[in-house]
Amino acid sequence: MLLEEVRKAFAFHELIQNVESDQNMQAMRFEKHFYDDLVNMRADVGRIVSANLCSQSTAYVLASISWGLYQILGWNLYYICGYTKDIVSFLTHKQEQMWCFERFCEKRMGTAFLTLAVKVMDELTELNRLAEKHGKAYLQAKFCDGDMEGYEAVKRFVTLYNGARIRTKAFYAYVDRMLSFVPAILKKYELQEV
């Protein structure tokens, strides 16, 4: 049983790497709205300044970029995950990116990463079966109309990780992108016969 849970955790890692960055360790995306908010609030970015030996202005930019395999926002990287090294170290070490993703999930979701990974993968496996049986349009209608009971781990993860609100097209688009990778990942990690 533990071996299967560990396989699900690795599968979940790979799934989110695919969804967020197409497995590009150096992927980055500037979030201008977040940058504007930080500058307007004159947020304290001292941790980022110290870790990167940079100016406050540069730290605002670093805080406003989503980084790496999991596209973790720089602010979250330093202030939620507790990362203390420079951003170049983060971008060049897969294990550090994986650790920060796990830490971010645990902090934001309030549950152990292994527990979260198992629940999300189990629910995505079931959603994949529904999509194969009824089609993706069926799932989209159910999710967007608010008629999709259950699947609480998937709903919580997408809402807290991606920021998309339930019953929106953005929410379903994220779920749909996750589902597009599920069959291959289930097969690769021997989680289900495909």
pLDDT at residue 193 greater than cutoff 60: no
**Domain's final residue, options 55, 74, 91:** 91
pLDDT of residue 167: 81
Tokens of 186: 């289930």
The domain containing residue 51 runs over which residues? 26-91
**Domain's final residue, options 47, 69, 91:** 91
Residues 47, 119, single domain; the answer is: no
CA 22, CA 44: separation in Å to the nearest integer? 32
Residues 51, 142, single domain; the answer is: no
Give residue-wise pLDDT tens across range 74-107: 999 999 999 999 999 999 999 999 999 999 999 9
pLDDT of residue 169: 84
Number of domains in the chain: 2
Residue type, 139: L
Max mean pLDDT among 2-6, 116-120, 128-132 falls in 116-120
First to last CA, the chain: 20
User: pLDDT category, 165, cuts 50, 70, 90?
Assistant: confident
pLDDT of residue 143: 75
pLDDT at residue 62 greater than cutoff 60: yes
